[in-house]
Structure 1
C-alpha cells in the first residue's frame, strides 16, 4: 500500500507508547507496530518538533498518572507546512485522553 503522490496523510493516533528522551508517568513502552508503520511510510511525529510546557504535553491522565501517548503524524516531506502542534487543555476526545491539534 502506498500514499498516492497527490494525497497527504495526516494521522492522529493513540500510539500507547512514548517517543523521544522524555517520559512522564507510565514507563512501559508500547506502540512498536505504529512506529513500524511510521518508518515504512516515511511519517514523522509532529508533536516532537514543537517545544511545549508540561501542561501542553500531557495527552493522557488517569488519577495522578500522566503521560504523552497521543500523537499526530504526517509525511516527512510535508513537515515544514506544520505550524504548531499542541494539547488543548480542558478538551477531551475520549475518557482520559486530551485533544491534540496541529495547525498546517
Structure 2
C-alpha cells in the first residue's frame, strides 16, 4: 500500500479538493519555491503510480484518478496513521467517516 509523507498527503488533498490549481496557488499555500513545488508534484506522481496522476493543462494542475478504490485506501490509511484527536479537523474527519460507514444509528458513546 502506498504511504505518503505529510507533504505528499497535503498536496494530494489540494488536488482532490480543487478541480484545478495553479502552481502559484500551490507555492503560496506551501511557502516553497516553484522548483521545490515541481519536485513535490513529481514525487507525488511517482508515489501514486497507476492510482492517479497529476497533469498540467493551460498553466493549471489537476488530478486524474485511475483507481478510486486505491485512492480511498490511501486517504483512509493516512487518516488512521495520523489520528490525533487533539486536532479538531481529524476529529471531524473521523466522526464523518464513522457516520458515512454506519449501517444503523450510532449512539454518541459509540463514536
Indicate the TM-score class for this superposition, using the shorter chain for normalisation: under 0.3
Question: Which has the bigger relative contact order, CA under 8 A and spacing at least 6?
Answer: 1
Question: Which protein has the bigger strand share?
Answer: 1
Structure of larger gyration radius: 2
Question: Which protein has the bigger helix share?
Answer: 2
Give TM-score, length-normalised by structure 1: 0.28
Give TM-score, length-normalised by structure 2: 0.27
